[in-house]
Amino acid sequence: MYRGLPKNTYILFFVQLINRLGDFVIPFLSLYLTSKLGCSTEITGIIVSFAFLVQIPGSLVGGTIADFWSRKKTYLISQAAAALCILSCALISSKALIIALLILSAFFSAGAKPLINTMVYDSLEPSKRKLGQSLSYLGINLGVCIGPLLAGFLFNHYLKLFFIGDAFTSLAAVILVAFKLVDIKKTETQTEQNSGSSKSFILQLVKTPKLCVFFLIFLIYSFIYAQHSFSLPLMLSQTFDAKGTVYFGYIMSINALTVVLTTAFITYITRNKSSLVNIALAGLFYALGFGIIAIATTFYIYILSTILWTIGEILISTNSEIYVVNQSAESMRARCCASMMVIGSVGKALGVFVMGGFIGNFGVLSVWPFIMVLALVTSIFTYFFSANIRRRN
C-alpha cells in the first residue's frame, strides 16, 4: 500500500521513527524532577505544566517561520536547538540551568514536530496524503514501542546516557533531513507572498467556517482522548488496587501494539472514504471503547476497550490533519499543522481539568457514560457536517 510514494515520504517515516525512538526526556520529566533533582510534587507540577505550555507558542512560531521561509531549514534549526539543550543537561550540574534548558528544549521541539507532517503533505498530491500521514504515524508508534523501554533502563542505570541518547537521536534525524530530504517548499512550489501574513491566516480561518467547525470537533475528540491517560489509570487503581499501575502499563503496550499492527490495514479499508466520514466513525469506536469501561469487571474487557478506542485514535490521527491541509492554502500549511497541535493540547488540558472536577463530584465510574454520550454526539454531528458539505459541493 505504501509503494510508489515520493522519496521524501520514506525519509520522513525514518525521521519520525528515530525521533520517537529517542524521545526519552520529556516523557520521564516528572520522574526526573522528583527522583533525580529532588523537586517537590508542587514544584514539579508547575515545571511540567510550564514545559507543556511553552509548546503552544513554540509550535505556532515554528509553523509561521516555516510558511514564510523554509520547512526544511526551520525544522533543522528547531530540532538541532532542542537536541543541544538536552545534550547540555548531561554536561552541567546546576539544577536551575537544567530545568531552564529542559523547558527551552520543549519549546524548540514543539516548533519542529508539526513541520514533519507538513513536509509529508508538501511531497504528496491530495489523494496520496492519507497514505503519507498513515506511514508517518506508523513511524511514530514503532518508535514509541521501543523507546520507553530503553529510556527506563538508561534512566535507572546511566543517567548521562539518558540525555545523550535523546540528543543524538535528534541529531541523527537532523542529519538525515539535511542530506537526504528535498525542500519541496523552496524548489518546487511557488509561494503566495500576499497571503503569508498572520493577519491573512486568521482571516482565512474566519472566512472558512468549515475549518472553524472542524477545529471544534477536533477539540472535543482531544478532550475525550485525554481520558486514556487521566481517568483510565484512576479507574484501574480503583478496580484492581495495587495492580492498577501494572495493568495500566499493559494497556499502554496494547495501545502501541494495536497501532503498529492495524494502522496499515485500517488505512487500506478506509482509503476511499472521506476524512470526515472516517473521523465520524472514530467517534463510534471512542464511544464503544470508553463506554464499556463502565461495565468492566475483568481485565479482558479493558483489553477489548483499549483495542476499540485505539482504532478511534488511528482514524483520527490519519485523517484529521489531512482534512485541514486540504482545506487550507499551501502558503499556510505549516501554521495549520501547528494549529492542530495547539488545539489538541488545549483539548487534552481541558479534558484533565474538567474531568478532574467531575470525578471529585461524581466519582470515576461516572466518567465513562458521560464520555460515551459525548463521543456519540460528536460522531453524529461530524457525520451530518460531512453530509452537509457533500450536498453543498
Query: Using one digit for the tens of pLDDT, what is the confidence trace for 91-100?
Result: 998 999 999 9
Per-residue pLDDT at 72 exceeds 50: yes
Give CA–CA dist 262/264, Å, rounded: 6
**The pLDDT of residue 43:** 86
Range with the lowest mean pLDDT among 103-112, 181-190, 324-333, 356-365? Answer: 181-190
More confident residue, 369 or 234: 369
Asked whether the predicted pLDDT for residue 303 surpasses 60, the reply is yes
Architecture of the domain made up of 1-187:
Up-down Bundle (1.20)
The Cα–Cα gap between 307 and 290 comes to 10
Return the pLDDT at 27.
75
Q: Which of 148-152, 171-175, 225-229 has the lowest mean pLDDT?
A: 148-152
Average pLDDT over residues 346-355: 86
Rounded to the nearest integer, the mean pLDDT of the chain is 88
Residue spans of the domains in the chain: they are: 1-187, 196-393
158: left (phi over 0), alpha (psi -120 to 50) or beta: beta
Instruction: Give the CA diameter of the chain.
Output: 63
211-215, 318-322, 350-354: lowest mean pLDDT where?
350-354
Sign of CA dihedral 112, 118, 122, 123: positive
Task: Match 517548499 to its residue by C-alpha cell.
Answer: 185
Distance CA 303, CA 296 (A): 10
More confident residue, 14 or 238: 14
CB atoms within 10 A of CB 322: 23
SS (H, E, C) 1-65: CCCCCCHHHHHHHHHHHHHHHCCCCHHHHHHHHHHHCCCCHHHHHHHHHHHHHCHHHHHHHHHHH
Nearest to 252, CA basis, from 244, 242, 264, 240 = 244
Query: Which CATH architecture fits 196-393?
Result: Up-down Bundle (1.20)
The Cα–Cα gap between 3 and 20 comes to 23
Answer whether residue 173 shows pLDDT above 70.
yes
Over 60: is that where the pLDDT of 25 sits?
yes
Q: What is the predicted pLDDT for the residue at 195?
A: 46
- Element (DSSP H or E) covering residue 367: helix 367-392
Average confidence (pLDDT) over 64-88: 94
Range of lowest pLDDT (7-16, 76-85, 180-189): 180-189
Q: What is the pLDDT of residue 200?
A: 63
**How distant, in Å, are the alpha carbons of 52, 113, 223 from that of 232?**
21, 27, 13
SS3 of residue 72 by DSSP: helix
How much is the pLDDT for 104? 95
Q: pLDDT at position 168, please?
A: 96
Enumerate residues 6+ apart whose C-beta is below 8 A from 93.
none
Amino acid present at 374: L
With 90 as the cut, is the pLDDT of residue 26 above it? no
What is the phi-psi region of residue 210: left when phi exceeds 0, alpha when psi lies from -120 to 50, beta otherwise?
A: alpha
Q: Is the pLDDT of residue 288 over 90?
A: yes
What phi, psi does 224 have (nearest 5°)? -65, -45
What is the model's pLDDT at position 312?
97
End-to-end CA distance of the chain: 29
Number of H helices, E strands in the chain: 18, 0
